[in-house]
């Protein structure tokens, strides 16, 4: 019988208990990895499986938990040989019984990006190798996962390298319902359900009673059968004995079964006796499927957002019409984009739209890079915004959670390419009511397209609730009657199709003065017609405010709790005119640590004063004022740089603290932003003092020092190309070639990674295109980091040893002679 | 359960390399705010295992042999503040680098204080035995690649989510592995000092006539 049939026919499916516990009890010795026992002691391993089958297990896990090439390195056997042997051992135990055999896939043993250095793609390859050897397996089990991203890599590898085999996934949670990596039980259930697994649940970490709240939380976010494989309680640190016996274990599982448990077994500390008890305890119990909560849900790995009322989607991560954003994309300035993400969330966005489409960049590579970077710092679920199926697919793979795809439309080409991706990756999708003939004029025509999109989605198995229809906003100053059609279409979609709705709002006011007033009024009208997902600029207080107030007035925000939290410190703007962005919390308090009065500021201009004192807003305002009378370049050279030099000198003299140096740099950055905007507006040349690559070398992940250097260089007017951490020497050389670079800064924190620094410099020196006619090197290399010494810097051929960020600025000044 | 306790601000300032700067109110306030944030985000976890000596798989080089000389037992130990701290540091580096450097320094203080709490815990647990100081892979000639052996021995990836990368850097970054010797007789006084440190040639603290730790 196969797993599917078993799941249909039986009330419960019995899994096995721990293999590790039996290995330990047997006293058998092994080198390196317990998986090598599959080769050295096949009969013993088979006898363990057999003991579980005799005790009543319907499915046994082969002894392959750590059988990946990372963990098995140096064990003396190839990975596929161990896996095949393990499966044969399990098959031998199952021979003559109905028991099924699973390939057991555990974590790789290295943390994935962003916490660790292993990339999602590398993890996928390691798992794919395991799946390729799994021909004999009836089922693929992925267990003890603490990182949803790693679990996703394993599931995709299973689907693509062991096609057709049912996949079971269990993750390991702490008692607070989160994993070590911060993954929430809800997000795990939601994301894994979308990826097409057969069942999901929890294993390891705690005993059954302690895991009950966790499985209960999962049960509200999936209708798949649930897996429950707890430990036999907690181990005694001295004896390593677990504290829950077989009878108590079985009784506890029995009491938890009504949460939707279907596949039950044990993890650490459990033995065949536990499984036998479990089987007896559940003999007279009927399977009770859980009831999932209603309504569509999206999530990141840590945060779920249920669309049960208007939810704000932030629209700012999009280069359309934004010069600075375009520039950031062209210059690979990911921090700029991350700032956009964090400030929108702070202003009230609950989901962020991510669009990085620019004709001259590789949209697919940039989308993946940006998604990964945002996931590393931001908990809000994301909306992947592209019209290109290849970009969407790459993004859907790289996303950690359940996203919204923005978008599909009524064109046949779009329907037939986008919807299958939405289905495969278990996403939700925005459906635009346009087709081959463009945007129809009437609400009726748009409604018909919406209906077509929903029908096509449902035919593929995408539930209607996961399609969010966008009836499209047209510019009211151009087509005044169109506004009514949009709102009517929205209303009909909501009431007649029963779909959630999305709408980009800001287009409405193009060409009109005081756009904000038109936008917020239109937003309120749309909300009243049933808009669920307004796509807006959350930094505009009146827009976010309209949504928050609507939630109160429509009784969605119970007891006005969210509203009060957002506005309890609200103070109205002083004079007339629009409220400043981000005024929700009553204006930011001065940054902690500002040191008004501590620096000697006599005779300095207001701009210099602001920089010396580390005051951002004052710096920006003073720059604006000064731009009325002075040209941008003079401001940089006569005001900003001297102020920064003064702060740098104070720092070197031990008069100010490092964070205070950085605050001054940040204030200077605000001044620079104003100046850059002015230059972008007038097109009056560049203020860049030179282009510098910064990178933390291959193997090293400690990059805070490099990041401090970046802040300082940025604010001295250098253009920094930040390649990040753990950077391959080749990437540095290629970037130097592409960008025609004269200065490269490298950092390393650990003695173990110094060799990467040496290797990088050697590669830079070897590259013929980076040499002058006389054979000297075009590239000046600056090195720094805790373990780097002046002697070492010289020995590996660096041009500058930089003991701190200030010294790096000095090195750049000397390179670029400015 | 071990908590780091109130964080030593002076130590954090030393980690920042700013020990000679005169303290001011703004910096005090920043340290206090950041301390609160570190303590609320940190999820300290530790593991230990008492091994009888000699234990071949832990021996490599001369320094560890000298360190454990006369000891009958050794305690393998690891601790971490968890991935939340790393995430917080990533976020703050984007939002406000001046705050990030202070948080980073205080997080280093926090993991060291967790280790010291463990030393006390150990002293309570083995009141009749003398304790050496904590010795870690990477000290002296003790190879850093033993990180992997330590973590495997303690089952740290599975039990507290502590791992290494290919270069044996610990992830999460605010983490420690160490070995402490237990002896029935008082071990010869050997300070954990600059003499056995690989960085003695380049150390910024030493150049200033200072030293790390306390």
A495 has pLDDT over 80: yes
Of residues B96 and A49, more confidence is placed in: A49
> What's the Cα-to-Cα distance from A691 to each of A303, A314, A741, A743, B197, rounded to whole Å?
39, 32, 6, 7, 37
State phi, psi for A469 to the nearest 5 degrees.
-85, 135
pLDDT band with cut points at 50, 70 and 90 for residue A653: confident
Cis peptide before A463 (omega within 30 of 0): no
Q: Do A662 and B93 touch (CB under 8 A)?
A: no
* Fold of the domain built from segment(s) A606-680: 1.10.1240
Per residue in A68-109, pLDDT tens?
Answer: 999 999 899 999 999 999 999 999 999 999 999 999 999 999
Sequence ranges of the domains in chain B = 9-198
B1 contacts chain A (CB < 8 A): no
Comparing A99-108, A180-189, B166-175, the range with the smallest average pLDDT is B166-175
Sign of the torsion formed by the C-alpha atoms of A397, A400, A402 and A407:
negative
- Contact residues, chain A, for B13 at CB < 8 Å: 657
- Angle at which helices A641-652 and A658-682 pack, to 10 degrees? 170
Phi-psi region of A33 (alpha: psi -120 to 50; beta: other; left: phi over 0): beta
For every residue of B19-70, DSSP letters joined together read TTSPP-HHHHHHHHHHHHHHHHH---EEEEEEEESP-GGG--SHHHHHHTTT
Pick the CATH number of A3-281 from 3.40.720.10, 3.40.50.2000, 3.90.1150.10, 3.20.20.330: 3.20.20.330
Query: Residue A182: which of B87, B165, B168 has the nearest Cβ?
Result: B87
Cα Rg of chain A, angstroms: 30
Mean pLDDT of chain A: 92
> What's the Cα-to-Cα distance from A264 to each of A171, A321, A478, B71, rounded to whole Å?
14, 55, 63, 47
Per residue in A3-17, pLDDT tens?
Answer: 999 999 999 999 999
Residue A44 in contact with residue A28, Cβ under 8 Å?
yes
Nearest-angstrom CA–CA distance, A104 and A49: 13
**Reduced 3-state DSSP string for A76-110:** CCCHHHHHHHHHHHHHHHHCCCCCEEEEEECCCCC
A644 contacts chain B (CB < 8 A): no
Q: Which pLDDT value is given to residue A542? A: 95
B109 contacts chain A (CB < 8 A): no
With CA atoms as reference, report the closest residue to A503 among A478, A477, A524.
Answer: A524
Q: Which residues pair with B179 in a beta bridge?
A: B76, B135
Q: Which pLDDT value is given to residue A588? A: 38
Sequence ranges of the domains in chain A = 3-281, 297-568, 606-680, 691-816
Shortest distance, CA A62 to any CA of chain B (angstroms): 19
Angle CA A120–A121–A123, to nearest 5: 65
Q: Burial level of A572, CB count in 10 A (0-12/13-18/19+)? A: exposed
Q: Please report where in the chains the tokens 């704000």 appear, as a residue.
A: A312
Shortest distance, CA A175 to any CA of chain B (angstroms): 13
**Reduced 3-state DSSP string for A538-582:** CCCHHHHHHHHHHHHHCCCCHHHHHHHHHHCCCCCCCCCCCCCCC
Query: Residue B90: which of A118, A377, A655 has the nearest Cβ?
Result: A377
pLDDT band with cut points at 50, 70 and 90 for residue B196: low
Q: Do B94 and A115 touch (CB under 8 A)?
A: no
Q: What is the mean pLDDT of residues B61-70?
A: 86
Top-level class of domain A691-816: alpha beta
Pick the CATH number of B9-198 from 3.40.50.970, 3.60.15.10, 3.40.109.40, 3.40.640.10: 3.40.109.40
Q: Within chain A, how many helices (H) and strands (E) appear?
A: 31, 23
Nearest-angstrom CA–CA distance, A583 and A572: 8
Q: Burial level of A123, CB count in 10 A (0-12/13-18/19+)? A: buried
> What's the Cα-to-Cα distance from B133 to each of A126, A477, A536, A689, rounded to whole Å?
40, 76, 58, 50
ipTM of the complex: 0.86
- The token duo for B203 is 């150390």
Comparing A545-549, A625-629, A675-679, A707-711, the range with the smallest average pLDDT is A675-679
Mutation pick from A593, A786, A805 vs chain B, by most beta carbons of B within 10 Å, is: A593
B201 has pLDDT over 70: no
**Reduced 3-state DSSP string for A717-782:** CCEEEECCCCECHHHHHHHHHHHCCCEEEEECCCHHHHHHHHHHHHHHHHCHHHECCCCCECCEEE
Q: What is the mean pLDDT of residues A288-310?
A: 95
Q: Which pLDDT value is given to residue B118? A: 94
A 10 A CB-CB count for A430 gives 27
Q: Enumerate residues 591 to 610 of chain A having a beta carbon within 8 A of any beta carbon in chain B.
A: 591-596, 598
Kind plus residue range of the DSSP H or E element containing A643: helix A641-652
Q: What is the mean pLDDT of residues A611-626?
A: 91
pLDDT band with cut points at 50, 70 and 90 for residue B209: low
Nearest-angstrom CA–CA distance, B11 and A763: 40
Cα A221 to the chain's mean position, in Å? 20
State phi, psi for A306 to the nearest 5 degrees.
-90, 130
Residue of chain B minimizing CA distance to A749: B169
Per residue in B117-163, pLDDT tens?
Answer: 999 999 999 999 999 889 999 888 888 989 988 999 999 998 999 99
Nearest-angstrom CA–CA distance, A57 and A60: 6
A245 contacts chain B (CB < 8 A): no
Nearest-angstrom CA–CA distance, A520 and A517: 5
Q: Do B172 and A115 touch (CB under 8 A)?
A: yes
> What's the Cα-to-Cα distance from B162 to each of A232, B44, B47, rounded to whole Å?
23, 11, 10
Query: Residue A182: which of B84, B100, B168 has the nearest Cβ?
Result: B84
Nearest-angstrom CA–CA distance, A250 and A704: 50
Q: Which pLDDT value is given to residue A182? A: 94
Mean pLDDT of chain B: 88
Residue A40 neighbours by CB under 8 Å, 6+ apart: A30
Q: What is the mean pLDDT of residues B174-203?
A: 76
Q: What is the mean pLDDT of residues A381-403?
A: 97
A600 has pLDDT over 60: no
A634 contacts chain B (CB < 8 A): no
With CA atoms as reference, report the closest residue to A325 among A680, A72, A568.
Answer: A680
Q: Which pLDDT value is given to residue B126? A: 92
Q: Which pLDDT value is given to residue A265? A: 98
Comparing A212-216, A447-451, A597-601, the range with the smallest average pLDDT is A597-601
Residue A704 in contact with residue A696, Cβ under 8 Å?
no
Please indicate whether the domains covering A3-281 and A691-816 agree at the CATH topology level. no
Cα Rg of chain B, angstroms: 18
Q: Which pLDDT value is given to residue A578? A: 46
* CATH architecture of the domain with residue range A297-568: Alpha-Beta Barrel (3.20)
pLDDT band with cut points at 50, 70 and 90 for residue A602: low
Q: What is the pTM of this model?
A: 0.89
Per residue in A105-147, pLDDT tens?
Answer: 999 999 998 888 899 999 999 999 999 999 999 999 999 999 9
Q: What is the mean pLDDT of residues A669-684?
A: 80
Sign of the torsion formed by the C-alpha atoms of A312, A317, A322 and A324:
positive
Residue B144 neighbours by CB under 8 Å, 6+ apart: A750, A751, A752, B137, B138, B168
- The token duo for A729 is 């020497």
Q: What is the DSSP letter of A34?
A: G
Q: What is the mean pLDDT of residues A725-753?
A: 90
Kind plus residue range of the DSSP H or E element containing A801: strand A800-801
Q: Which pLDDT value is given to residue B60? A: 84
pLDDT band with cut points at 50, 70 and 90 for residue A580: very low
Q: Enumerate residues 118 to 157 of chain B having a beta carbon within 8 A of any beta carbon in chain A.
A: 138, 144, 157
Q: Which pLDDT value is given to residue A313? A: 98
Residue B86 neighbours by CB under 8 Å, 6+ apart: A115, B171, B172, B173, B174
Q: CA-CA-CA-CA torsion for A421, A424, A428, A432, nearest 10 degrees? A: 20
Q: Burial level of A241, CB count in 10 A (0-12/13-18/19+)? A: exposed
Q: Which pLDDT value is given to residue A582? A: 41
For every residue of A200-259, DSSP letters joined together read EEEESSS-HHHHHHHHHHHHTT--SPEEEE--SS-B-TTT--BS--HHHHHHHHHHHGGG
Query: Residue B163: which of A110, A654, A751 has the nearest Cβ?
Result: A110
Mutation pick from B81, B97, B204 vs chain A, by most beta carbons of A within 10 Å, is: B97
What is the total residue count of chain B?
A: 214
- The token duo for A87 is 């499966």
Q: What is the mean pLDDT of residues B200-207?
A: 64
Q: What is the DSSP letter of A494?
A: I
> What's the Cα-to-Cα distance from B53 to each of A14, B70, B71, B181, B182, rounded to whole Å?
43, 10, 7, 9, 10
Q: What is the DSSP letter of B188?
A: P
Sign of the torsion formed by the C-alpha atoms of A631, A632, A634 and A640:
positive
A810 has pLDDT over 60: yes
Q: Which pLDDT value is given to residue A683? A: 67
Per residue in B77-130, pLDDT tens?
Answer: 999 999 999 999 999 999 989 999 999 999 999 999 999 999 999 999 999 999
Cis peptide before B54 (omega within 30 of 0): yes
pLDDT band with cut points at 50, 70 and 90 for residue B205: low
Shortest distance, CA B45 to any CA of chain A (angstroms): 10
Cα B125 to the chain's mean position, in Å? 20
Nearest-angstrom CA–CA distance, A228 and A255: 12
Residue A10 in contact with residue A205, Cβ under 8 Å?
no
State phi, psi for A81 to the nearest 5 degrees.
-65, -40
Per residue in A259-272, pLDDT tens?
Answer: 999 999 999 999 99
Nearest-angstrom CA–CA distance, A82 and A62: 11
Q: What is the DSSP letter of A112?
A: B
Q: Which pLDDT value is given to residue A581? A: 43
Q: Do B202 and A660 touch (CB under 8 A)?
A: no
């Amino acid at each position: 019988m196969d797993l599917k049939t078993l799941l249909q026919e039986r009330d419960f499916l019995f899994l096995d208990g721990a293999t590790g516990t039996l290995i330990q009890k047997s006293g058998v010795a092994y080198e390196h990895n317990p998986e090598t026992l599959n080769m050295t002691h096949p009969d013993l391993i088979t006898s363990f499986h057999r003991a579980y089958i005799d005790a009543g297990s319907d499915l046994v896990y082969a002894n392959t938990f750590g059988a990946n090439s990372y963990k098995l390195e140096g064990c003396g056997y190839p990975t596929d040989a161990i896996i095949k042997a393990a499966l044969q051992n399990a098959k031998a135990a199952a021979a003559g019984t109905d028991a099924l055999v699973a390939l057991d896939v555990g974590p790789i043993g290295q943390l994935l990006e962003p916490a660790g250095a292993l990339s999602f793609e590398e993890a996928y390859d390691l798992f794919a190798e395991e799946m390729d050897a799994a021909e004999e397996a009836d089922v693929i089990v992925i267990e003890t996962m603490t990182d949803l991203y790693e679990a996703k890599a394993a599931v995709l590898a299973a689907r693509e390298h062991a096609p057709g085999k049912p996949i079971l996934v269990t993750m390991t949670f702490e008692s607070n319902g989160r994993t070590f990596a911060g993954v929430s039980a809800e997000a795990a259930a939601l994301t894994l359900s979308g990826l097409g697994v057969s069942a999901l649940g929890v294993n390891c970490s705690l005993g059954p009673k302690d895991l009950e709240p966790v499985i209960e939380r999962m049960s509200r976010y999936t209708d798949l059968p649930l897996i429950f494989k707890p430990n036999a309680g907690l181990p005694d640190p001295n004896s390593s004995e677990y504290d829950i016996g077989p009878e108590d274990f079985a009784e506890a599982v029995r009491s938890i079964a009504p949460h939707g448990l279907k596949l039950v077994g044990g993890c650490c500390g459990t033995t065949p006796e536990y499984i036998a008890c479990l089987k007896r305890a559940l003999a007279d119990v009927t399977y009770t499927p859980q009831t999932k909560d209603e309504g569509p849900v999206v999530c990141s790995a840590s945060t779920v957002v249920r669309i049960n009322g208007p939810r704000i989607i932030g629209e700012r991560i999009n280069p359309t019409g934004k010069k600075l954003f375009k520039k950031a994309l062209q210059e690979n300035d990911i921090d700029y984009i991350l700032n956009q993400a964090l400030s929108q969330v702070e202003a009230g966005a609950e989901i962020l739209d991510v669009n990085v489409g620019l004709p001259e960049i590789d949209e697919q590579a940039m989308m993946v890079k940006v998604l990964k970077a945002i996931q590393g710092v931001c908990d809000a679920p994301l909306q992947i915004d592209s019209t290109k199926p290849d970009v969407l697919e790459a993004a859907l793979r790289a996303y950690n959670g359940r996203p919204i795809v923005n978008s599909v439309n009524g064109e046949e080409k779009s329907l037939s390419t986008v919807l299958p991706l939405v289905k495969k990756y278990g996403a939700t999708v925005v459906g635009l009511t346009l087709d081959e003939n463009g945007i129809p004029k009437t609400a009726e025509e748009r409604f018909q397209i919406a209906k077509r999109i929903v029908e096509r989605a449902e035919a593929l198995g995408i539930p209607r609730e996961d399609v969010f229809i966008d009836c499209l906003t047209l510019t009211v100053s151009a087509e005044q009657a169109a506004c009514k059609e949009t709102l009517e279409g929205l209303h009909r979609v909501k009431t007649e199709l029963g779909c959630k709705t999305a709408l980009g709002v800001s287009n409405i006011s193009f060409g009109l003065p005081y756009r904000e007033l038109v936008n917020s009024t239109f937003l309120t009208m749309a909300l009243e017609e049933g808009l669920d997902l307004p796509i807006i600029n959350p930094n505009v207080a009146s827009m976010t405010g309209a949504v928050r107030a609507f939630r109160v007035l429509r009784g969605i925000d119970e007891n006005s709790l969210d509203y009060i939290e957002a506005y309890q410190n609200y103070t109205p703007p002083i004079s007339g005119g629009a409220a400043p962005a981000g005024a929700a919390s009553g204006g930011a308090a001065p940054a902690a640590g500002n040191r008004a009065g501590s620096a000697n500021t006599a005779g300095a201009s207001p701009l210099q004063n602001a920089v010396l004192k580390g005051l951002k807003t004052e710096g920006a305002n003073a720059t604006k004022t000064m731009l009325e009378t002075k040209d941008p370049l003079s401001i940089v050279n006569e005001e900003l740089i001297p102020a920064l030099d003064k702060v740098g000198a104070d720092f070197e003299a031990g008069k100010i603290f490092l964070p205070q140096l950085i605050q001054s740099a940040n204030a200077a950055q605000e001044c620079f932003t104003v100046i850059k905007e002015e230059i972008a507006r007038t097109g009056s040349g560049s203020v860049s003092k030179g282009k510098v690559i910064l990178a933390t070398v291959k193997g090293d992940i400690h990059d805070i020092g490099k990041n401090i250097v970046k802040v300082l260089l940025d604010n001295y007017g250098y253009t920094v190309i930040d390649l990040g951490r753990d950077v391959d020497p080749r990437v540095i050389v290629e970037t130097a070639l592409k960008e025609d670079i004269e200065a490269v800064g490298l950092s390393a924190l650990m003695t173990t990674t110094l060799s990467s620094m040496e290797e990088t410099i050697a590669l830079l020196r070897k590259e013929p295109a980076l040499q002058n006619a006389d054979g000297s090197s075009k590239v000046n290399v600056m090195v720094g980091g805790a373990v780097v010494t002046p002697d070492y810097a010289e020995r590996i051929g660096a041009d500058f040893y930089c003991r701190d960020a200030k010294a790096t600025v000095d090195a750049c000044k000397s390179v670029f002679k400015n | 359960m071990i908590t780091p306790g109130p964080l030593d601000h002076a130590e954090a300032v030393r980690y920042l390399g700013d020990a000679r700067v005169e303290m001011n109110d703004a910096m005090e306030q920043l340290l206090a705010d950041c301390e609160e944030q570190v303590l609320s985000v940190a999820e300290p976890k530790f593991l230990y295992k008492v091994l009888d000596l000699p234990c071949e798989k832990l021996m490599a080089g001369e320094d560890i042999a000298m360190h454990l000389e006369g000891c009958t037992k050794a305690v393998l130990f690891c601790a971490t503040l968890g991935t939340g701290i790393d995430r917080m540091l990533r976020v703050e580096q984007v939002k406000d680098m001046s705050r990030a450097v202070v948080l980073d320094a205080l997080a280093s203080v926090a993991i060291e204080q967790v280790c010291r709490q463990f030393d006390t815990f150990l002293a309570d647990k083995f009141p009749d035995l003398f304790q050496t100081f904590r010795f870690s892979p990477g000290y002296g000639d003790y190879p850093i690649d033993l990180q992997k052996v330590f973590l495997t021995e303690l089952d740290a990836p599975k039990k507290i989510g502590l791992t290494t990368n290919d270069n044996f850097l610990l992830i999460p970054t605010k983490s420690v592995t160490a070995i402490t010797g237990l002896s029935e007789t008082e071990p010869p006084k050997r300070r954990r000092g600059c003499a056995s440190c690989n960085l003695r040639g380049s150390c910024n603290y030493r150049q200033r006539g200072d030293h790390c730790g306390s």
